[in-house]
A and B are shown apart, each in its own frame.
Chain A
Amino acid sequence: MKQDHYADVGLFPGKSTALGVLGFILFLVSLPLYLPEYNFYLLNLMIAHVIIVVGLNILAGGTGQISLGHAGFFAIGAYGTVLLMQKLGIPFIPALVLAGFIAAFFGFVVGLPALKLEGPYLSIATLAFGLAITHIIGHVDIFGGRTGIQAPPLDLGIPQWGLSYVLSSDVQKYWLFLVVALLMAAGARNIMKTRVGRSFKAIRDSNVAAGVMGINLPAYKTLAFAVSAFYAGIAGGLFGFVLGFFNPEPFNLVLSITFLIMAVVGGLSSIAGSVAGAALITYLQFSLLKNIDEIPYFGTLLTSISERWFTDEGLHNIDSIVLGIIMVIIIIFEPSGLYGVWLRIKGYVQKTPRDTHKAGEV
C-alpha cells in the first residue's frame, strides 16, 4: 500500500517497481549484444508505436476522449521532421522537437471541437481530421505528393558546422529511439501522477465536479489533445526514419484504429500497459501474422482452409481478423487489458500465504 503522497507522485511507486523498471531498461540496452541485426527494424517500429500509444493513452485513458485521427498527427510528425531537415537545414533533434510542437498545435486545433462535442461525435471530428490530412499531403508537391519523400541520413550532429554523426544501421537508430522513448515515458508518468494528470482524470470522471473545483475545462481539454499530439508527432518523426522512404498511404484510418487497439489491449491509463500493448500488436502485425503461412503444418493448414472456404489470395488479411478477435476477447474478459492481467497475477501472488505458520499467528 502506498503510504504517503510523495511515494505516490514519485517517479516509481516503490523500490521493487524501480528495480523492475531498471531491469527492463538494462534488458533493452543489452539487446544488441545477442539479437541479430535484422530484428532491429521491428524493434524500432515498436518503439515508435510505443511512444504514440503512450501519448494516445494520456488522451484516451486520461481525459477519456477517443481520437480516431492520431495517424494524422503521426504523419505531421514524420513529414514535419523530414521537411524541416531537408528544406530548412535544421539538425535532426531540433527538427524532431519542432515537428512535435507543430503536431501539438494541430492537436490543440482539433481539440477545440472537444469543448462542444462529446463521445462518438468528438471521435468523428478527429476522424475527419485524420482523413483530411493525408489527402492534403498527397496533393501538395512539397510533401512529395502520392509518390512520397526520402528521409535524409539521420545525422545527430550539426552538418553545417562540420559536426556529423550519422546513424546508419538499425542498431544505432535503436539506441537513439530507446533514449527518446524512455524520456517520453518518464514525462508521461510525471504528467499523469501530478496536478495536470489528476485534473485530466477528474474531467473524465465528472465534468461537472471538475468544473466546480475550479478546473478550467476548455484549457485542460485542449491541453490533453495538444500533449497527446506532441507524442504522436515525436513518434511520427522517428517512424519516418524507420521507413526511410514513405508516402501518405500508411497514415490511414486503419493505422489510427490500430493505435487505439494497442492502447486498449495494453490497458487504458497505464503506461506499462501501453508499452506492452504497442509491442505485442506490432510484433503480431509485422512479424508473426505476416509470416504465419511459413509455420510448418499450422500455416499450411490455415492456407488450405483459406483457399478452400474464403479466398485464393492466401492469408494476407489474417492480421485484421486476429486483431479483431483479440479486441473482442480483451473487451469481454479483461477491459483493463494486459495491465489488468498483470494486476491479477500480482494479486494472486500477494494473496498466496508464503509461510503458513506465520499466517496462522496473525
Chain B
Amino acid sequence: MKALLKLSGIETWHGSICALKHVSLEVFQGQIAVLLGPNGAGKTTVLKTVMRSLYDQKRAQPEKGSIEFEGKRIDRLKTGEIVRRGIGCVPEGREIFPELTVRENILMGAYTRRGGKDIRADIETVYRYFPILRERKDRQAGYLSGGEQQLLAIARALMGRPKLLMLDEPSLGLSPMMTREIFEIIRSINLQEGMTVLVIEQNANIALQYAHYVFLLENGRVVHAGKPEVMKRDKRVREAYLGSSDNSSP
C-alpha cells in the first residue's frame, strides 16, 4: 500500500526539551490512521511539526529526519505551501474564528484556492455533510455550541480540498454522543471522498473502533503500531487505555 504521509526519524525540540525522539510513521492512502497517546506524549507536536506551525516560527521544523508527502519532502516548506500541497488541519481546541460568521469561517478554509465557482460548489458540498451549518451560516461562529464548532472546524479544513485531513482531538470537550457523530462523519468522508485521515485522540475506545491503523505514542516515541484488532488484544494497551483488566476476554 502507498504511504501518503511518511515521517522518518523526526526529532523536534521545544527549547531545551526534546518533544519527539526519532518518530517514524506512515499514513497510508485512503485509510483512517489514529495517533493515540497520553497527555504530553507529543501527539500535537507531531501535527504541528508536519504543518510547521510550532510557536517559534523560524525553528518550526524538525531538527532531524524528514517528512514526505506523496513522495516529496515537505519539511522545509512554508505552512501555506504545505496546505496547497493538500494537507488540511483541524487544530486542537477547534480554533474557529469566533467573530467571523459561519460562512466566512468556511470561506477562510478556501484561502489557498482561487476560482469562485469551485469554491461555491464546495461550500454546498460541506453544507450537505453538515446541514446544521447551513442553518447557522450568518451567525457569529463564537455563538455555536462546542459540537457545532467542531463540525465547523472540520468543514473549514475540508474547504482546502485536502488529500490528507489531520484532526487534533476532535472529541475534546464533547459528549460521547457528539464524539460518535463526529467519528461517523469522519468515516463517511473517508469512504465517500476517499480522503486519507489522521486523527489524534486520547479516547482509545472510540478511536480503535474507527481506525484502520493505530500508532501509540509515549514520551515522544512511537512505542506501538498496528491494526486496531491487534492493539485491542495487546495487554499494555488494554491496561493503559481501555481500562479493562488483563484476564477478561477480548
* Chain A residues engaging chain B, CB cutoff 8 angstroms: 1-2, 5, 8, 115, 195, 198-199, 201-202, 204-206, 208-218, 269
Contact = CB atoms under 8 A, between A and B. Distances in A.
Contact of A212 (B53, B96, B100): B53
A213 B51 contact: no
A213 B83 contact: yes
A214 B138 contact: no
B89 interface: yes
Nearest to A211: B53
Interface stretch (B28-36, B104-112, B127-135): B104-112
Contacts of A8: 103
Interface in B118-166: 120, 138, 153, 156, 160
A205 B99 contact: yes
Interface in B64-106: 78-80, 82-84, 89, 91, 95-100, 103-104
B57 interface: yes
A198 B112 contact: no
A206 B84 contact: no
Contact of A209 (B78, B80, B97, B138): B97
B108 A199 contact: yes
A262 B216 CA distance: 55
A214 B91 contact: no
A269 B160 CA distance: 27
A206 B111 contact: no
A199 B91 CA distance: 17
Contact of A199 (B53, B82, B111, B160): B111
Contact of B160 (A201, A210, A214): A214
A201 B53 contact: no
A205 B97 contact: yes
A208 B91 contact: yes
Nearest to A64: B99
Contact of A213 (B99, B103, B112, B138): B112
B49 to A, nearest CB: 12
A115 B56 CA distance: 10
Pairs A-B, 7 closest by C-beta atoms: A214-B83, A209-B95, A205-B97, A214-B112, A214-B80, A212-B89, A206-B95
Contacts of A213: 83, 108-109, 111-112, 156, 160
21 contacts: A5-B120, A8-B103, A201-B99, A202-B108, A205-B96, A205-B97, A206-B97, A208-B91, A208-B95, A209-B91, A209-B96, A209-B97, A210-B108, A211-B51, A212-B51, A212-B91, A213-B156, A214-B79, A214-B82, A214-B83, A215-B80
Contacts of B98: 205-206
A355 B78 CA distance: 59
Given A5-B103, A212-B53, A206 B96 contact: yes
Given A199-B111, A215-B111, 5 more contacts: A1-B138, A199-B108, A201-B100, A202-B97, A214-B83
Nearest to A213: B111
Nearest to B52: A211
A211 B109 CA distance: 11
Contacts of A206: 91, 95-98
A201 B56 CA distance: 22
Contacts of A198: 100, 104, 107-108
Contacts of B99: 201, 204-205, 269
A2 B91 CA distance: 29
Contacts of A208: 53, 91, 95
A212 B79 contact: yes
A154 B82 CA distance: 52
Contacts of B108: 198-199, 202, 210, 213
Contacts of B112: 213-214
Contacts of A199: 108, 111
A195 B79 contact: no
Contacts of A212: 51, 53, 79, 83, 89, 91
Looking at A1, A5, A204, which has the most chain B CB atoms within 10 Å of its CB? A5
A115 B109 contact: no
A216 B57 CA distance: 11
A189 B132 CA distance: 30
A55 to B, nearest CB: 20
Q: Counting chain A CB atoms within 10 Å of each CB, which of B51, B80, B156 scores highest?
A: B80
Contacts of B79: 211-212, 214
Contacts of A216: 78, 80
Most B CB within 10 A of own CB, among A202, A204, A213:
A213
A2 B107 contact: no
Nearest to A212: B89
A212 B167 CA distance: 12
Nearest to B83: A214
B84 A214 contact: yes
Nearest to B79: A211
B138 to A, nearest CB: 6
Contacts of B82: 214
A2 B137 CA distance: 10
A273 to B, nearest CB: 15
B103 A201 contact: no
Contacts of B153: 209
Interface in B41-72: 51, 53, 57
A211 B156 CA distance: 13
A211 to B, nearest CB: 5
